[in-house]
Amino acid sequence: MADQPPGAPATLPPGASCQAIFESRWPHLHNPHVRALAWLLDAPDLLDPAAPHWQGRIATLGALPPATVAWLAALEQDPSPLEAALGGKHYSRLGLYAEKLMAFYFAERGQLVAHGLQVRADRTDTIGEFDFLLREGEDLVHIEFATKFYLLDAGSTGGDFNGLIGPNLADTLGVKMRKIFDKQLSLSQHPAAQALLPQPVARAQALVKGWLFYPDGAPPMRGISQQHCHGFWMTQEQAQDLPAQRYAIMPRLQWLAPLKTVDSIGKDELLAAVQDAAAPVMVAALREMGEWLVEERRGFIVPDSWRAQAAQRRQDGVLPP
């Protein structure tokens, strides 16, 4: 694949992982911010925009044009414009970091009308916030943007994606999408919002990127993109059976793109690091590729009590059944 143009579609076997596809398309990207942006722009949608379940309210970026591919390659050579847009602050929230990356992209395309525009009834009453207002031709478009990571818990008895639970046991994919559909995508209809808009919103959609994690392989799910990025999850006890290879513990801000690093730990060091963790830990299994170690697969190692905690939170009404 050395002679393949940067960003060109890869020729890989059917069922190739998101990691293999990404590395085959973007082997020239090493800067973590540029890789994260490339992943946001090029990764498969988490939700299937064509699925009737979503009633046309899921946005997609589509295939990247050659000009965007070349622009990303130029950013790799000189990432200073992107680094300046991100600023010197440390991002504690992955969602905010991803939003800043996308705002940079939309601004560079000349589409960005507003990012993070708050709608208030008065000084103390915030009604909502537009993630992105974009210019598409003569139209004004509202895009709600989310980067989400959910674990499938077979203990859930409900439908509507409530079996896909956040690692911190705070929400589900079903709860998140209902909030987006029922509240956030209708924000432009509020009189306080209309007073802020330069013109009526022609379309409001959700753009959702992320990874789903399964205990026993990825089952087909209605409304989920067949090509979505996915990984595994296992308990601390099950992690004892991980193969002996190089690993990395992934900080939250590195959860977007497949990891590319020169640092790693062995299986024993990994197990020692996660054995007493009170919350799920994202790990990447690595393989050597030249001077780099690249992500081969990823997953969460969760406390042995994680599933019981999820059941308790459903029983307490914190999570839907």
- In this structure, how many other beta carbons lie within 10 angstroms of the beta carbon of residue 247? 23
Residue 46 φ/ψ region, left for φ over 0, alpha for ψ in the -120 to 50 degree band, beta for the rest? alpha
Question: Given this model, what pLDDT does residue 41 score?
Answer: 98
Enumerate residues 6+ apart whose C-beta is below 8 A from 289. 23
Question: Given this model, what pLDDT does residue 141 score?
Answer: 98
Calculate mean pLDDT across residues 166-191.
Answer: 94
1-15, 58-72, 157-171, 278-292: segment of lowest average pLDDT = 1-15
The answer to whether the beta carbons of residues 130 and 117 sit under 8 Å apart is yes
Calculate mean pLDDT across residues 48-67.
Answer: 95
User: Using CA atoms, how far apart are residues 196 and 292, in angstroms rounded to an integer?
Assistant: 49
Question: Given this model, what pLDDT does residue 231 score?
Answer: 97
Percent of the chain with pLDDT over 70: 94
Closest CA to 51 of 186, 221, 184, 177: 221
Calculate mean pLDDT across residues 109-123.
Answer: 92
- In this structure, how many other beta carbons lie within 10 angstroms of the beta carbon of residue 30? 13
Percent of the chain with pLDDT over 90: 85
User: Using CA atoms, how far apart are residues 319 and 31, in angstroms rounded to an integer?
Assistant: 38
**Secondary structure letter of residue 319 according to DSSP:** S
Calculate mean pLDDT across residues 134-154.
Answer: 95
Instruction: Look over the chain and give the mean of its residue pLDDT values, rounded to a whole number.
Output: 92
The answer to whether the beta carbons of residues 25 and 9 sit under 8 Å apart is yes
Enumerate residues 6+ apart whose C-beta is below 8 A from 95. 146, 147
How many helices and strands in the chain, by DSSP H and E?
9, 10
Question: Given this model, what pLDDT does residue 10 score?
Answer: 52
Q: Which residue has the higher pLDDT, 12 or 178?
A: 178
The answer to whether the beta carbons of residues 164 and 172 sit under 8 Å apart is yes
- Quick one: pLDDT band at residue 92, thresholds 50, 70, 90? confident
Question: Given this model, what pLDDT does residue 156 score?
Answer: 58
The answer to whether the beta carbons of residues 278 and 236 sit under 8 Å apart is no
Calculate mean pLDDT across residues 38-59.
Answer: 96
Q: Which residue has the higher pLDDT, 122 or 189?
A: 189
pLDDT at 1 over 70: no
| DSSP secondary structure string for all residues of 266-294 | -HHHHHHHHTT-SS-EEEEEEEEETTEEE
Question: Given this model, what pLDDT does residue 219 score?
Answer: 87
Calculate mean pLDDT across residues 215-242.
Answer: 94
pLDDT at 13 over 90: no
- Quick one: pLDDT band at residue 82, thresholds 50, 70, 90? very high
Calculate mean pLDDT across residues 266-277.
Answer: 96
User: Using CA atoms, how far apart are residues 263 and 266, in angstroms rounded to an integer?
Assistant: 11
Question: Given this model, what pLDDT does residue 11 score?
Answer: 62
181-222 pLDDT, tens digit per residue, is: 999 999 999 999 999 999 999 999 999 999 999 998 888 889
User: Using CA atoms, how far apart are residues 270 and 251, in angstroms rounded to an integer?
Assistant: 14
User: Using CA atoms, how far apart are residues 270 and 248, in angstroms rounded to an integer?
Assistant: 8
Question: Given this model, what pLDDT does residue 3 score?
Answer: 46
Contacts of 261-264 spanning 24+ positions with Cβ under 8 A: 261/286, 261/292, 261/293, 262/291, 262/292, 262/293, 263/293, 264/293
226 class by beta-carbon count within 10 Å (0-12 exposed, 13-18 middle, 19+ buried): exposed
Calculate mean pLDDT across residues 235-264.
Answer: 97
Q: Which two tokens stand for residue 147?
A: 């980067």
